[in-house]
Structures are given as structure tokens and as C-alpha cells.
Amino acid sequence: MTWLITGGAGYIGAHVARAMAGAGESVVALDDLSAGVPARLPAGVPLVRGSALDPDLLRRVFAEHRVTGVVHLAARKQVAESVARPTWYYAENVGGLATLLDAVAEAGIRRFVFSSSAAVYGTPDVDLITEDTPCAPVNPYGETKLAGEWLVRAAGRAHGIATVCLRYFNVAGTAAPELADTGVFNIVPMVFDRLTRDEAPRIFGADYPTPDGTCIRDYIHVADLAEAHLAAARRLTAEDAAGDLTVNIGRGVGVSVRELVTLIGEVTGDTRPALVEARRPGDAPRAVASADLAAKGLGWTARHDVREMVASAWEGWQRLHGR
């Protein structure tokens, strides 16, 4: 059994490759290296440089590596960019997925794990978001992830492909400094970047209906997320694997932005007060996962807390920036 991991040299993809290979799974990574770093991949994991949108390349990779399952992480994922370039996001994230699923069906591959996002929910007004919470994405990125889920499930029904869709909440941390996130798009590296440039961290909105006025989010350690992919792959290799499963990947614990910024200050030793700026459009006051179905359907629960996320991310940040 060999798993192809698209986007396998990326921040999340390399963690997934490491977790799966470390558990004895045979894996091969496919990455166009637009954001991926080959050195992140563990020894013995082959890297094919190219795009998951290239059907001829997919056919060759499937045949040469005898691929029997796919973990699809490759995607465009920046919200602001999706608002500015919606047609490109649909072409890359949905059109590219259609190309991949066609190749999967043609090759007779019957196992597929899809990287989705809590962005499919939009801004629900609930204490805990379950998989039955209505989906109402508020940006093109979230729309492409929801459309991707529909497409994965439809292709699964049409071609007998067993599927799992994983709806990630807020990913942070690193399992090893060399696997650190090189982007500055999520809150933890954004605060690190501000502090490194001797600037105060920013909080967007402090007048939300929450205990301290700032947004509350569910943060998941990337190492735990990688283990969730391994659990999904193992579920799909079970003798009775069939149908589809869609699950939230979070801890079920809410942390406010102000609490997170305070914790970052404790870890880094830079405790300067944050600047409070205007709200950003589309930010929900609260977005916390119910993780019950992941525990029941995948046998998976998160093990790492937020302090571990921040401390590991800071170690990786320092390595990346020569500190």
C-alpha cells in the first residue's frame, strides 16, 4: 500500500509524510515547490516535483509508485488572495481537484483523504461547531473547500472511492524546528514577525461578545493534525472501509486572541502590550470545534496544548531567522 501526498513538502504535508512514514506506511510526495521545501521530507520518502493539476504526471506517478491511496493537501489557501483572485482559486482548488479525482478513478485507486477547512462553516453563532452545523463560507477560499468536499463525496459515490474529509481548525506549532511554517499568514507567525521587527503585536477587534472582547478560536498542533491524517488513512485501509466520513480536527477548547498573544509574550519574553485595531470583516466571535466525531470515527484525539504549539513554533521561527 502506497500513499501519494500532494503538497507533501509543505508545512502540513511534510508533517503528514513524517507521521505516516514513521508509522510504517509507504509514502511518496508530490509538490510543485511553490511553498514546499524538499529538505522537510524524511529520508526515504521520494519527492516528485510537479503539479497535481497535470494528469499525465499523475498517471506516471500512480503507475511508477503503485499508488493505492491519496492524501490531497495541495491547494491555494490565503483568504485575502482568494477574495482578490476568486476565479484562480476556483480553478486551482476545485478544477485541480477534479483533475486529480479523474486520474484517481482512472487508476482504480479507492482511498482518498481530503484536506478541508473550518472555513466551510463561515461565522456560525454556536458554542461548539459540529459536523452538522450549517456550512456558509464567507470567502472564496472557504467556498472552494466546501465545493471540494461535495466533489470528493460525489466522485466517491460514482467510482467506489472511500473518502475522508478533514476540516482543520487553526493549525500552529511544529514537530521539529526544521519543519516550521515559513509563511507569515497565521496568527502565531504574524505575532512573531511583529516582535522580530520590534513592533507590538496587533489584535483586530476587542469589542466582540466574548469574555475579554477578542475572538475565540480552536488551535490544533500540526503534529496532532498529522496524526489525524494517519488515522484517516488507517481507517480507509480497514477491511470494511466504505462510504465517506467528514470530521472536524480541533481540540474542542477555545482560546481568545488576547490569551494567545499573552502566551506568546510569555514564551518569547517580549511582553509588550498589543495594539488594538479595527475588526476585520468576516471574523466570527467564536469558532471552536466539537471533536467528538473524530474520536469516534477515527479513534483520534489531540494531545498537545497551546503552550506546546507556541513554544515549538518559536523554536522553529528562531531557526528559520538565524536567532
Are residue 154 and residue 24 in the same domain, yes or no? yes
Beta-carbon contacts of residue 238 (< 8 Å; ≥ 6 apart):
none
Assess whether 281 and 238 both reside in one domain.
Answer: no
The DSSP symbol for 179 reads G
Co-location of 163 and 264 in the same domain: no
**Residue 302: all three cell numbers together:** 489531540
Q: What is the CATH number of the domain that holds 293?
A: 3.90.25.10
Q: pLDDT tens string for the chain (323 positions)?
A: 899 999 999 999 999 999 999 999 999 999 999 999 999 999 999 999 999 999 999 999 999 999 999 999 999 999 999 999 999 999 999 999 999 999 999 999 999 999 999 999 999 999 999 999 999 999 999 999 999 999 999 999 999 999 999 999 999 999 999 999 999 999 999 999 999 999 999 999 999 999 999 999 999 999 999 999 999 999 999 866 667 999 999 999 999 999 999 999 999 999 999 999 999 888 999 999 999 999 999 999 999 999 999 999 999 999 988 76
| Same domain as 127, residue 105 | yes
pTM exceeding 0.85? yes
Q: Are strands 47-49 and 26-31 parallel, antiparallel or unpaired?
A: parallel
Are 115 and 189 in the same domain?
A: no
Query: Which amino acid is it at 176?
Result: A
E strand residue ranges, the chain:
2-6, 26-31, 47-49, 69-72, 111-117, 162-168, 170-172, 202-204, 216-217, 219-221, 244-249, 255-256, 275-277, 286-287
Q: Which residues pair with 130 in a beta bridge?
A: none
Count of domains for the chain: 2
What residues form DSSP beta bridges with 249? Answer: 168
236 and 272 in a common domain: no
Distance between CA atoms of residues 19 and 25, nearest Å: 9
Structural domain including 183 reads 174-217+252-320
Q: How far apart are CA 134 and CA 181, in angstroms?
A: 31
Alpha carbon of residue 133 to chain centroid: 19
**Residue in 89, 121, 141, 219 annotated catalytic:** 141
Q: Are residues 38 and 121 in the same domain?
A: yes
Q: Are 280 and 257 in contact (CB under 8 A)?
A: no
Last residue of a domain, one of 249, 269, 303: 249
213/223 same-domain check: no
The CATH number of the domain where 227 resides is what? 3.40.50.720
Residues 194 and 278 in one domain: yes
Say whether both 81 and 135 belong to one domain. yes
What is the rounded CA–CA span in Å between residue 75 and residue 281? Answer: 23
- Same structural domain for residues 160 and 283? no
Q: Quick check: is 208 catalytic?
A: no
Task: Examine the domain organization and report whether 93 and 212 are in the same domain.
Answer: no
